[in-house]
Amino acid sequence: MKENTFIRSIRLVPEIYKPFLWSSLIAVTGTIIRMIGPQLISRGIDNGVVVNDYQYLLEQCFYYFITLVVLYFVASKALLSIGLVGETYVKNIRQKLFRHMSSLDINYFEKNKTGVLVARMTSDMQSLNEFAREGASSILTSLLTIFGATVAVFLVDVQLALLSFVILPLLGLATKIFRKHADKTYWAVREWIGQVLSSLQEGISGVRVIQAYADEKDQLNRFQKVNNEHLKANMQSAKNIAIYFPFLEITRVSSIALVIWFAARRISEGTLTVGELVAMLFYLNYFFDPLIQLSFNYDLLRSAGSSMKKVFSILDEEPVLSNKGDMYPVEDTDKVIKFENVKFSYGRETVLHNVNFEIKKGEKVAIVGETGAGKSTIAKLILRFYLPSEGDVKFYNVSTEDMSQRWARKNIAYVPQESFLFRGSIRENLIYSNPDSINLEDELLEIGVLDWFDRYENGLEQEVGERGSNVSAGERQFVALLRSVLAKREIIVFDEATANLDIESESSILEATDKILQNQTSIVIAHRLETILNSEKILVMDKGRLVGFDSHISLLEENETYRELFSAWNLIS
């Protein structure tokens, strides 16, 4: 049976149980103090005003003033305490969500739009924040006040209490109908917010392509369609509120009018005092005002509930690869990587067919082939981003299915063609993988690239913007490549990591790489002649099949596919 979203939300962060209990006790104390006020007013009227005992009236007024002062401090403490619990809850949810997203397999991020995932961490978290900051305390105090007022009304006069609540079944039916429609609209609002953010992110990220193809108008039209759907969802939500809230107010006024009409007869008969009627009216307001407040906060509550469902949709995603194996390969053989009859498909179409090869420790291997030949897929299998559909990939004779994901992340480095830099200094980016054990200046001096950073005004302390936006593509690639080399992983996978470098920088980094990678195993997806000639062995792919695996000289002599590729590279060069 699927667990209720509210119950699951509470169970998700058990750290808040005790603080929430303490906050609730303070709120209960405040509710009890609030219920004392009308009783003091009732006594003041019946035993002071009616009998002209103004001394008694002044005493009740003084007690009422003291009650208000105490209530002020207790209510303030309750609001702060509940607010702190709510903000702590959202902080913990945000951390759990980020931690879980970081553990998910790569294919999850390839299947889901970045903008939608960002919406989960921004818009949905904002919705939870608003509820924690404004709604949680209001809902708790409203519920307690409604309960306290209900008890107090029956203590004043049972007959009037039953009369005042005779209209509640109609109110309950209206509330049920409102909730049914509101749940649908709030879910739609959250869904379209994600689509709006996704469309916005796509438009901003691809602005260069949009402008280059003069596609601004069409892009705007696509954004407007999504934005209009978001507007429709919001207006449907507003329509529900516009119908329900006036009905709630009519119910409150009708109930109070009915009580006053019946109480007037009781007072004339001497079975009810004026003070009791006034107390009754106070308690009825204590009942209906929070009810109206709850209706206003229902927007926040359902929005937060819809956001939590979105959050759970991510938390329910299980990272297959992280939980698949727990073995740590022992480096007791020189057979570092071995593909055995490997087949792989992203969907229905098979992209690798019975691939077999073996890479030994310290070898530098290039993977070549035309676009779509399967080069990147082999790299992803080595990086353990995916598991083979059939066959096996082994690391030191340990199957990739049995291997710990942690071992893969600690022993295999990756340098993509589109290099990524984090916001911060160049130094922080270079030592990102191992900040506590790298003497950066000595390392860079040893491999002969320390002078390269003199081009920056602040040298290694030069700040880079988001995604390295204020440095060139070649400079980003140089820093990213050095970062992987300095990490000193056992295995390094390069996806043509020098493609954006100038000849001088490429020469420097290739020389530096050769020095450092003497005892490391490197796999290079090659698109340039220089990379091929720098490799000890070359793996030739053609339409998902391995058609050659040997040295450059041997392949030139014996492999037609490789000769054609090499001839094409020579022409380009």
Instruction: Look at residue 102 in the predicted model and tell me its pLDDT.
Output: 80
310 and 341 share a domain? no
159 and 23 share a domain? yes
For 10, 21, 255, 330, the CA distances from 469, given in Å and listed in that order, are 41, 48, 64, 41
For 125, 183, 297, the CA distances from 307, given in Å and listed in that order, are 7, 12, 15
Residue holding tokens 């193809």?
213
97 and 208 share a domain? yes
453 touches 505 (CB < 8 A): no
**Domain end among 315, 350, 374:** 315
More confident residue, 366 or 309: 366
Quick: pLDDT tens for 173-220: 777 777 666 667 766 776 777 677 777 777 776 776 676 666 777 777
Instruction: Look at residue 536 in the predicted model and tell me its pLDDT.
Output: 86
- CATH code for the domain in which residue 526 is found: 3.40.50.300
Residue holding tokens 């310290």?
362
344 and 226 share a domain? no
468 and 385 share a domain? yes
For 114, 320, 542, the CA distances from 347, given in Å and listed in that order, are 21, 17, 19
- CATH code for the domain in which residue 265 is found: 1.20.1560.10
Indicate the SS3 state at residue 538: strand
320 falls within a domain: no
Task: Determine whether 360 is exposed, middle or buried from the number of CB atoms within 10 Å of its CB (0-12, 13-18, 19+).
Answer: middle
Instruction: Look at residue 1 in the predicted model and tell me its pLDDT.
Output: 41
Quick: pLDDT tens for 277-290: 888 888 888 888 88
323 falls within a domain: no
321 falls within a domain: no
Mean local confidence (pLDDT), 387-416: 87
442 and 502 share a domain? yes
Indicate the SS3 state at residue 359: strand
Residue 368 has phi, psi (to 5 degrees) of: -125, 160
Dist CA 492 CA 512 (whole Å): 14
Dist CA 351 CA 375 (whole Å): 10
**Domain end among 286, 315, 344:** 315
292 and 363 share a domain? no
Indicate the SS3 state at residue 116: helix
**Using 50, 70 and 90 to split pLDDT, how confident is the model at 340?**
very high
499 closest CA partner among 382, 381, 414, 419 = 419
Count up the domains in the chain and report the number.
2
Average pLDDT, the chain: 80
Dist CA 449 CA 515 (whole Å): 12
311 and 343 share a domain? no
For 310, 476, 486, 496, the CA distances from 471, given in Å and listed in that order, are 37, 6, 20, 19
Tokens encoding 572: 């380009």
Dist CA 493 CA 336 (whole Å): 13
500 falls within a domain: yes
Quick: pLDDT tens for 525-554: 876 666 677 788 999 999 899 999 998 889
330 falls within a domain: no
Domain span at residue 555 reads 335-572
308 and 357 share a domain? no
Q: Does position 410 have pLDDT exceeding 60, yes or no? A: yes
327 falls within a domain: no
Residue 479 has phi, psi (to 5 degrees) of: -65, -45
152 and 233 share a domain? yes
Q: Give the range among 173-182, 221-230, 472-481, 541-550 with minimum mean pLDDT.
A: 173-182
Indicate the SS3 state at residue 355: strand
> What is the percent of the chain with per-residue pLDDT over 70, rounded to a whole number?
87
Quick: pLDDT tens for 251-303: 778 888 888 888 888 888 888 888 888 888 888 888 888 877 776 676 677 77
Report the DSSP pairing between strands 412-415 and 491-495. parallel
Residue 546's contacts (CB-CB under 8 Å, 6 or more residues apart) are 355, 356, 357, 539, 540
For 12, 284, 341, 467, 509, the CA distances from 426, given in Å and listed in that order, are 39, 66, 42, 12, 16
DSSP sequence for 247-298 = HHHHHHHHHHHHHHHHHHHHHHHTSS-HHHHHHHHHHHHHHHHHHHHHHHHH
143 and 277 share a domain? yes
245 and 374 share a domain? no
Instruction: Look at residue 503 in the predicted model and tell me its pLDDT.
Output: 59
325 falls within a domain: no
Instruction: Look at residue 572 in the predicted model and tell me its pLDDT.
Output: 47
> What is the enclosing helix (H) or strand (E) of 384?
none
Q: Which ranges of 316-402 would DSSP assign to H, the alpha helix? A: 375-382
268 falls within a domain: yes
**Domain end among 282, 315, 348:** 315
Residue 553's contacts (CB-CB under 8 Å, 6 or more residues apart) are none
